Amino acid sequence: MKFTKSDLKELFIRGPLGLTIFSTILGFSIGAIVLAIAGFNPAEAYWAIIRGIFSKPKYMSYVIIYATPLIITGLSVAFALRTGLFNIGAEGQFIVGAMTAAMAGYYFQLPMIIHVPLCILLAMSAAAVWGGLAGYIKARFGVHEVISTIMLNWIAFYLSNWSLTIKSFGKQGTGKSYMIQETARIDLFGQWKITEAGIDFIRSHKILGDVLKSPVNIGILVALLLAFLVWYILNKTTLGYELRAVGFNPDAAEYGGINVKKSMVTSMAIAGGLAGAAGALQVMGVGHKIAKLAIMEGYGFDGIAVALIGNNTGPGSVFAGLLFGGLKYGGSKIQDAVGAPTEVINIVVGTIILFIAMPKFIQLVLRFKKG
């Protein structure tokens, strides 16, 4: 697990990174063709994305805010995949985490220093149970995790909507929950921003003030910490060794004395906890409440693409999440710049991501077919 120079060469030229770079270029090229066919200038549109991301500090801070949940759901999917499990359930685990954090954030009245970590931990635990359940069902009854997690996604979906009918939690008639306490919010300077001093500061400080115009929060720091933890667990701990061994070759893992079934449950529980953290941070840093879901929001599903693009590693998920977040946010700027309708933009962004993730996805499907 140490890198030499030739390993790096291998990684870039023939290895996963080379493939990613190649397919990224391909994705952007096909996206350009789509734009051209729809009658828009691709160069202008891509330039709009770049400007839309980098021209103002506020924009960059928005990209990070967009990327944060994607990084973490990406970590969730990546972690399970390393044990050979396909966690399509990140979506449901995200919902469970968000709901739990919204409840803990609203019902408890605690000092911030306790309230924030408590909310995150409770959300992670609830989502870990949600994910672990899928692992348990597989270990105990042999039901494939893809099937059980899809079902658990729907259960989480309706559970979350149902929770809003609880009188003390959901603001009846609005389809939203009550706002969480100030002490459970992780926005930076959220209160201070709307005081006179805050408004003054934002006016007078160009860069920092601009950043503060976006809902900056400490979520990205938690995401980076989690990415580090995932990397550490997988590469530095005995648990990581077990999970990777099971992922590569369960028969050999069993032969070596590793409890394969337990590993499945553990891996799915950790993956669930990660996705739950994403849901919690989204509530605590951006929304401050949950709302009735009409459709699945897709954070968990996007996590699949992030994991694939990031080659199922901690650091990879961070980069892929930022790329994904950048495209999502920057893509929305095409509309103003060249007047392309949202539908065309979504097709272009979707195409780019599809192309980047597709080779990995094909590899994954082949692996599952073989096993």
Partner 1 sequence: MSGITKKFGDFTANQNINLTVHRGEVHALLGENGAGKTTLMNVLYGLYKPTEGTIKVNGKPLQVSDPNVAIANGIGMVHQHFMLVDPFTVTENIILGNEPTKTFGVLDLQRAEEEVRQLSQTYGLHVEATAKIQDLSVGSQQRVEILKTLYRGAQILILDEPTAVLTPQEIQELANIIRNLTKAGKSIIIITHKLNEIKQVADYCTIIRRGAHIDTVQVNEVSEDDLAAKMVGREVSFKVAKKQRERGDKVLEIRGLEVEDSRGITAVNGLDLDLYQGEILGIAGIDGNGQKELIEALTGLTKVRSGVVKVRDKEVTNRTPGEMINKHRVAHIPEDRQKRGLIFEFDIAENMVLEKYNVPPFSRWFTLLWDKIYQNADLLVKKFDIRPQDSRVLARALSGGNQQKMIIAREVSNDPELLIAAQPTRGLDVGAIEYVHQSLVEQRDAGKGVLLISFELDEIINVSDRIAVIYEGEIVGILDAEGVDEKSVGLMMAGGSA
The stretch among 114-122, 210-218, 235-243, 266-274 that binds partner 1 (CB under 8 A) is 235-243
The stretch among 115-123, 216-224, 230-238, 296-304 that binds partner 1 (CB under 8 A) is 230-238
245 is an interface residue for partner 1 by CB under 8 A: yes
With CB under 8 A, what is the number of residues at the site for partner 1?
24
Choice from 178, 201, 241, 301 touching partner 1 (CB under 8 A): 241
Helix (H, G, I), strand (E, B) or coil at 169: coil
The stretch among 22-30, 58-66, 219-227, 245-253 that binds partner 1 (CB under 8 A) is 245-253
In the beta sheet, which residues pair with residue 176? 171, 291
Choice from 60, 155, 179, 239 touching partner 1 (CB under 8 A): 239
Residue 235 beta carbon to partner 1: minimum distance, rounded to whole angstroms:
8
- Binding to partner 1, residues 256-285 (CB under 8 A): 256-259
113: left (phi over 0), alpha (psi -120 to 50) or beta: alpha
CA angle, 282 as apex, 218 and 333 as ends, to 5°?
Answer: 90
Helix (H, G, I), strand (E, B) or coil at 205: coil
249 is an interface residue for partner 1 by CB under 8 A: yes
Rounded to the nearest angstrom, the gap between the alpha carbon of residue 116 and the centroid of all alpha carbons in its chain is: 20
- Binding to partner 1, residues 33-52 (CB under 8 A): none
Residues whose CB is less than 8 angstroms from the CB of residue 294 and which lie 6 or more positions away in sequence, other chains included: none
Helix (H, G, I), strand (E, B) or coil at 189: coil
Structure tokens at 48: 């709009």
The nearer residue to partner 1, 253 or 309, going by C-beta atoms, is 253
Residue 247 beta carbon to partner 1: minimum distance, rounded to whole angstroms:
9
The nearer residue to partner 1, 89 or 316, going by C-beta atoms, is 316
Structure tokens at 287: 């929304």
The stretch among 203-211, 249-257, 264-272, 281-289 that binds partner 1 (CB under 8 A) is 249-257
- Binding to partner 1, residues 124-183 (CB under 8 A): none
The per-residue DSSP string of 94-121 comes to HHHHHHHHHHHHHH----HHHHHHHHHH
The residue assigned the tokens 């954030």 is 105
The nearer residue to partner 1, 111 or 371, going by C-beta atoms, is 371
Residues whose CB is less than 8 angstroms from the CB of residue 45 and which lie 6 or more positions away in sequence, other chains included: 35, 334, 337, 338, 340, 348
355-to-17, 31, 350 alpha-carbon distances in Å:
14, 9, 9
The stretch among 28-36, 56-64, 106-114, 253-261 that binds partner 1 (CB under 8 A) is 253-261
Residue 362 beta carbon to partner 1: minimum distance, rounded to whole angstroms:
18
Residue 267 beta carbon to partner 1: minimum distance, rounded to whole angstroms:
16
DSSP annotation of 171 reads E
99 is an interface residue for partner 1 by CB under 8 A: no
What are the φ/ψ torsions at residue 126 (nearest 5 degrees)? Answer: -60, -45
Q: Return residues touching partner 1 (CB under 8 A).
A: 1-2, 4, 6, 236-242, 244-245, 248-249, 251-259
